[in-house]
Amino acid sequence: MFKETLVAEKHITIQYDSSAGILYANWTGDQTKATVMDGCEKMLHFLKQHKCTKVLNDNTHVTSVWLEASWWVAVDWFPRMHEANCKLFAWVESPNPLSKLSIEETLKFEVTGVNALTFPNRKLAEEWLKEYDTE
């Protein structure tokens, strides 16, 4: 499995695995509304560019709360991900309780169109994504 690195920045690394059809986003460190919005817009861009339907969004290394962005992610960004044909969104939780809270707040807004599930680790998230053929 070869992952092409599309973005490598302090707050996010985005990779694409063409054989599995999965876009990987690995978030790192403290996140703010600005970094969340920036990273999400980049994910959307590459999802469209690669005509991808699956995302593994890894928050394992997120160290802060980002509640300010949760409404925007749920109400603005997820609908645009759906329009771009994202079908499966595997969200790996951070061990940091504040980051987990941000994910929970986002999903309280009832994301529609995209099947978004949370996972305690990357392995389970990846297995779930590979289980489904979304083409």
Cβ atoms 56, 22 nearer than 8 A: yes
Alpha-carbon span 58 to 119, nearest angstrom: 9
**Which amino acid, residue 31?**
Q
Cβ atoms 59, 27 nearer than 8 A: yes
**CB neighbours of residue 116 within 10 Å:** 20
What residue ranges define each of the domains in the chain, with the CATH number in brackets?
4-131 (3.30.750.24)
53-91: pLDDT as tens digits: 999 999 999 999 888 999 999 999 999 999 999 999 999
pLDDT at 108: 86
pLDDT at 106: 87
95-102: average pLDDT: 85
Alpha-carbon span 60 to 62, nearest angstrom: 6
pLDDT at 3: 92
DSSP 13-64: EEEEETTTTEEEEEEEE---HHHHHHHHHHHHHHHHHTT--EEEEEEEEE-S
Structure tokens given for 78: 């997820």
6-56: pLDDT as tens digits: 999 999 999 999 999 999 999 999 999 999 999 999 999 999 999 999 999
**CB neighbours of residue 20 within 10 Å:** 16
